[in-house]
Structure 1
Amino acid sequence: MYLVKLITRNALRHRLRTTLTVLGLTIAVLAYGLLHTVVDAWYAGAAAASNARLVTRNAISLVFPLPLSYENRIRGVEGVTTVARSNWFGGVYRDPKNFFAQFAVSDNYLDLYPEFILPAAQRADYLRDRKGCLIGRQLATQFGFKVGDVIPIKGTIFPGIWDFVVRGILDGRDESTITRQLIFHWDYLNESVRKTTPRRADQVGIYVLGVANPDEAAEVSRRVDGVFKNSLAETLTETEQAFQLGFVAMSNQIIAAIRVVSYVVILIIMAVMANAMAMSARERTTEYATLKALGFGPAFLGLLVFGESIVICTIGGGLGMLATPPAASFFKQATGGVFPVFRVSAQTVGLQAACALVVALAAAIVPAVQAARVRIVEGLRAIG
């Protein structure tokens, strides 16, 4: 017990220096946690995607659509149970900064997404209204949308002002489900396009497929692509998760930069902590020599240094870890819901604790060795 008291008193001896060091550690651990949460949020869409759903798109690029006639041929492939249509709409609500996803989908689209919860009455209202739309709960919360509201969307890919009537609000099965999108009738979009630009009608962005056995997803994908091999519009079929990861891969350099910055922050605070511990050890050279003269060994002196470093890092790291969840919540609100899922994971908290421990141990190595090697005569000569 006396050892703990001695370590604690050493850590609090220079209160200003200790306070500033703890503050720096708190900010560093907090910054690391937020940056790591940003990376997790980037992958949230792919993580929530299902391996039981397949996505069929044009093999050349997602920019090129597929003919509507492919639907019946895909439905006839062995292992495929459901085929739904989806087109990216890409409209703007009032201002470009109010970006959110909009999809024109077939009426059976939600049958493939059990993670979306919608009251039966709202779904029936949606199916009856040609201009009806469904919006996610996160989107409704962000903009204050409610059932019955009319949402004007300025088309970019499909020009014009499109008015959609909110007929239902999609809730997520759990917190990991992203509900920040608007979906409306594919038939309504197709009919409108047929009137204005007939050559763009009967085109589908992607087909979403349900499979009878998820374990056979790879084989079903090959069968689907085999049907359209050497056609004018060959297909590429992959799991929904692989499809989502394809978008994430476009930002790999950004994600890598964020990861690098997060570890640079830890390295900087490690250097600061090492400097603080070195100063403390230098100031206590005489004390260490006195302890050696009284019979305390090098291991005891090294333990004092490591203990002081661990106490400081525990306080700073703990405060940083406690501050991360509220800071993440504030960040999510401040960014206007750019990241629909922005939650501090248990893994992030574990990494924060590991970083704090690494800083504590790394910063104390050199001062501990110096303290253990102090010579009694030279240490006592340093008095005054």
Structure 2
Amino acid sequence: MHALKLITRNALRHKLRTALTVLGLTIAVLAYGLLNTVVDAWYAGAAAASNARLVTRNAISLTFSLPLSYENRIRGVEGVTLVARSSWFGGVYREPKNFFAQFAVSDNYLDLYPELIVPAQQRSDYVRDRKGCLVGRQLATQFGFKVGDVIPIKGTIYPGTWEFVVRGIMDGRDESTITRQLIFHWDYLNESVRKMPGRRADQVGVYVLGIAVPEEAAAISRNVDDVFKNSLAETLTETEQAFQLGFVAMSNQIIAAIRVVSYVVIVIIMAVMANAMAMSARERTVEYATLKALGFGPGFLALLMFGESLTLCIAGGGLGMLLTPPAASIFRQATGGVFPVFHVSRDTVLLQAACAGVVGVAAAIIPAIQAARVRIVEGLRAIG
């Protein structure tokens, strides 16, 4: 009890220094949490991918399409239960900064995505309307889309201005489901492409495959690719997660840089904290010598130093952890929804707590050793 009182009074002895140290810790832990959340958001699409879905694309590149005739042949591969079409549209809504994903898909596409929830009536309306589309809840919230609205999209890959009627809103099964996309009828796109000069119709960007046994994904992928081996358009079939990670891999250097910065922030605040504790230890040399003269051992003095350091880290780290969720919400709004899924995970909070604890212990090690080694005569001689 006496030790706790001494630790508290020591921590509050220099109020300005304590306040600045706690502020620095708060900012460091907050910054670490936000940077870690950015990395998590980058992997959100891959993390939410299902192991019961495969993606078949052109083996050369995603920019090359596959013939529509491949659909029936893929459906005939053992283990494949459903085949859906999906083509990237790549249009612009009003101005380039309003970027979001748009896909032309077959009518059975949503059967492969149970995590995308659409009311039965809205889905029925969408199926009946050739120009109908479905928009995700996150997208609808960002731009204020509602059922019945007409969305003009200026085509980049497919020229002209395309108008789609919102027939339904797709909700996510949980907060990890990305709903920042627009889907419309692949048949409508294909019929329009047939009327365009110099364009090839009956081409599909990727095929999304449903499989009965996720554990057989690798074997089924090989079997699908074997069907089209030595053809004019060979295929590459992989799990949806591997497909998503292929996009993330393009940004590996950026992600690595973010991780490095997050750890550098912690190292810097550790140095600041160690300096503050070293100053405290030097200022209390006489006090430590007096405590030793009264019979308190080196362990008690080390306890005081570690206790003070951990108290400051608990205060600063706790504030940083509490501020991270609202800061993440503000960051998400400020970035205009660039990250569809941007929430602070439990693992991030645990990492923040671990970092604060490591800083508290590491910063006190050397000052604690110095305090424990103070000699009574030399310490008392330092008076004045």
Normalising by the smaller structure, the TM-score range is over 0.9
In 2, the alpha carbon distance for the partners of 1:90 and 1:330 equals 28
Partner of 1:346: 346
Pick which of 179-188 and 212-221 moved more.
Answer: 212-221
Partner of 1:71: 71
Amino acid at match of 2:139: L
> Is 1:239 aligned to 2:247, yes or no?
no
1:199 Cα deviation from its structure 2 partner: 3.9
Deviation per residue, 1:153-200 (Å, 9 max, x gap): 000011110000000000011111100000000011011111013542
Partner of 2:293: 293
Please give the TM-score of this superposition, normalised by the length of structure 2. Answer: 0.99
> Is 1:101 aligned to 2:78, yes or no?
no
- 1:1-384 aligned within 5 A: 1-197=1-197, 199-384=199-384
Runs (4+) of structure 1 exceeding 3 A deviation are: none
Amino acid at match of 1:222: R
CA RMSD of aligned residues (A): 0.7
Deviation per residue, 1:202-250 (Å, 9 max, x gap): 1100000011211111111111000000111100000101100110111
Deviation per residue, 1:115-169 (Å, 9 max, x gap): 0111111111111111100000000000000000000000001111000000000
Pick which of 41-50 and 192-201 moved more.
Answer: 192-201
Deviation per residue, 1:38-72 (Å, 9 max, x gap): 00000000000101000000001111000111011
In 2, the alpha carbon distance for the partners of 1:35 and 1:197 equals 48
Please give the TM-score of this superposition, normalised by the length of structure 1. Answer: 0.99
SS at match of 2:195: helix
Aligned-residue sequence identity (percent) comes to 86
Stretches of structure 1 that go unaligned for 5 or more consecutive residues are none
Deviation per residue, 1:69-121 (Å, 9 max, x gap): 10111111111111100000000001111110000000110011110111111
In 2, the alpha carbon distance for the partners of 1:372 and 1:14 equals 22
Deviation per residue, 1:305-333 (Å, 9 max, x gap): 00000000000000000000111111111
Amino acid at match of 1:31: A
SS at match of 1:242: helix
In 2, the alpha carbon distance for the partners of 1:132 and 1:7 equals 67
In 2, the alpha carbon distance for the partners of 1:216 and 1:274 equals 54
In 1, the alpha carbon distance for the partners of 2:159 and 2:178 equals 27
